[in-house]
Structure formats: C-alpha cells, structure tokens
Amino acid sequence: VSPARQRTSGVMRLTKLVLTLLLLGLAGQAACQEDDYGEDDFGGGGGYGEEEEEEDPPPAPAGDGAARELSSVADLEAFMDDNDASVVGAFLEKEMPDPAAVMPEDWDEDEDGTWEAPVVTNPELAAFNSIASSLYNYRFAFSAAPDVLAKLKSKTGGLYLYRSPKFLSAEHGDKPRERFPSTKLSESAVRNWLNSKAQPLVGLYSSSTKERYSGATLVVFFNLDFAKNAKGVSYVLKRARKAAAKLKGKLAVAVASSTDLSYELGDYGLPTDKPNTILMGISAGGQYYAPADGAAAFSGDTMSEFARAFLAGELTPYEKPEPEPAAGGGDEDLSDSDDDYGGGDEDDEYKDEA
C-alpha cells in the first residue's frame, strides 16, 4: 500500500473517531438537560419546565379588621351573643350630602340646573370604619336601620359598648352597656375607652383580650365550654367573681380556656396535659406565678389564698428550665470526616469517572 493511501485511511479512521466522540458528547448533554429540567424528585416539573400555577391565598375570615353592618334587630342580637364585648356604632344615615362642598361661583342654574352637593359617606361612619380596621382585637358593627337604632334607644346616634352577656354579672356591679362620652371619634380615645371598659369583673382572657389586662391578673384555666361544660363554667365563675369583688383595685381576675391557651400554661409551670383540671396562674409584668401548693384542688379558698400570697410577696416567679442539649451533643470536628455530602474513596472514584 502506498504511503499516500495509508495516510488517507488514517485520516478517515480519525474522522470517524472524532464524530463518534461528538455524538456521545451530545447524547450525554441531552441526558443532563433532561435531568435538570425534567421531572424532579416530587413528581413535578423542574427547572424551566412547566410551572404549577400558584394557588391564591385563602381569604381572610369575614369581619377581621372591618365593621359588620347590622340590617335588623336579629342581626344585632346575634352579634352581641358572643364571648367577647361588642362595639356598635349607630348612625342616622350612611350617606349624606358632602358638608364641605361649595357651589362653584360661576354655577348657572339656567344652564347647569339646580346645584346639589355631591353625596358622600357619612364622615362619622368613615371615621368609625377607620378605627374598626385599626383596633382589630375588638368586634365592631354598625347600623343605620331605624329598627336597630330603636332597639339601641339611640335617637341621635353614637358609639356603644356591650359587654359579653356570657360573663356579665349584674349582682357584682357589671353594667351591660357603656356609651362613648363624645360625638367625635378618634382612634386613641376609643382605644383607651375600650381598654378600660370592655372587660366585666371576671372576663375572658384570650389571645384577643389579654392586652386589656395591663396589670397583675389572676387567670383560671379550665374547660371553658358553655355548651358542653355549663355546670363547670358556672362553678368557676361564681367563685372567681366572689374573690374578684374583694380583690378589685389590687388584682384583676379572668378565666381562660386551657385548650385555647395551652401554649401559655408552660410559662406558669402548669401542666399542659390536663385539660379537664382547673388550674390557676398570675401574670404580672412579664413574670408568671403558680400556687405554692400547685396540686391543691381549685376552690374559692385556694383562689383567695393564692391571691393573698402573691400580694404579700410570698411567691417566686416561675423560671423555665434551659433546654437540655441533644444526645451526643457537643461541637464535632467534621473537617476531616466523610460526611453525607460525599468524600473519601467515593469522591476519588467520581473524579476518576469524570
């Protein structure tokens, strides 16, 4: 075979080898792209594949941060039948001619017709709605319906606070209703008024109402269910009111659902696994106290003794223990070890394969 022919044959073999390597490389790149942009570990499209449409967030619960309109007396009665206080605004009209509107100087009744001020939302109602959206821990409603205003005995309108009928005790001096002392509403004035008036002698202590108890407060935790535990609720409220009447001005008294506020029981050092047990704790200035004889059964006497010991300075606030370190804890030097992210011989093998 001539040298020229040998060279030609060698070039052809080299060309075939190069083409084969190029095809293998393209196949490998396609496989990598399929892994990167195909289905992920969760069965969905990843990378630049098809994206799942994001679901809209669930709507906010009705009434949160907004005042509810009461169209009838039935609406009013249903609104006030609640564990918490009810704030009701009464207005003679929802809309009215804009009191600040002025007829333009060049208004021509022959050409432009009779001038009338534009209709706007009642400014007092607008102020009320703004306050309701800010004071979201209170329940607000309003009405301009004549029969509702008649039920409220409101001839000129106004702002009214109705304490919860479920915790109201006329026997101990609780008044069912309070009226805001001014016709002009401002957020700070309404907030201060509500915080000082909303809770009865023994009221509900919850995530929404706890801020109303600014001073030391004795809280009774128990199964606060008016429907399923009516006798138990009556038993606790009767004794709590008797003690609260003697402690007025010294120590506030409230009741709470041990289920709804189970996450707070640990702050007092109280057990969290006894929802049917009546427990007591005192919150004061960011510190939490439990009875010295925490195992004593609840009664009017044990409640009074707990309050007396606190006011006498005989109790020590509970301190949560520091969390125990995890088993086998301590700082581990992982610099030279083979961790879960690879290393050692496997890493070398991977490099060799690459």
What is the average per-residue pLDDT within 257-283? Answer: 91
* pTM more than 0.95: no
Mean pLDDT of 96-112: 88
**Residue 203 Cα distances to 218, 229, 347, angstroms:** 11, 17, 66
pLDDT above 70 covers a percentage of the chain that reads: 73
* Token pair of 109 as six digits: 């009744």
How many Å apart are CA 20 and CA 32, to the nearest integer?
19
How many Å from the N-terminal Cα to the C-terminal Cα in the chain? 40
Mean pLDDT for the stretch of residues 274-292: 92
SS3 179: strand
Q: What is the pLDDT of residue 161?
A: 98
pLDDT at 75 over 60: yes
Task: Kindly tell me if the per-residue pLDDT of 172 is higher than 90.
Answer: yes
Structure-token pair, residue 10:
């060698």
Contact 304, 253 (CB under 8 A): no
Q: What is the pLDDT of residue 303?
A: 94
Q: Which of 33-47, 57-71, 85-99 has the lowest mean pLDDT?
A: 33-47
Token couple for 250: 């010294």
Q: Write b or e for each residue in 47-81: b if 16 or more Cβ atoms lie within 10 A of its Cβ, otherwise e.
A: eeeeeeeeeeeeeeeeeeeebbebeeeebbeebbe
Q: For position 96, what pLDDT does the model report?
A: 83
Alpha helices by DSSP H, listed for the chain, are 3-37, 73-80, 109-112, 123-134, 146-152, 187-197, 230-247, 262-268, 300-311, 344-353
pLDDT at 295: 59
Instruction: Please give the distance of CA 206 from its chain centroid, rounded to a whole number.
Output: 11
- With 70 as the cut, is the pLDDT of residue 277 above it? yes
Q: What pLDDT shows up at residue 13?
A: 67
CA distances in angstroms from 141 to 16, 160, 206, 286, 288, listed in the order given: 85, 10, 21, 33, 35
Task: Identify the three-state secondary structure at position 334.
Answer: coil
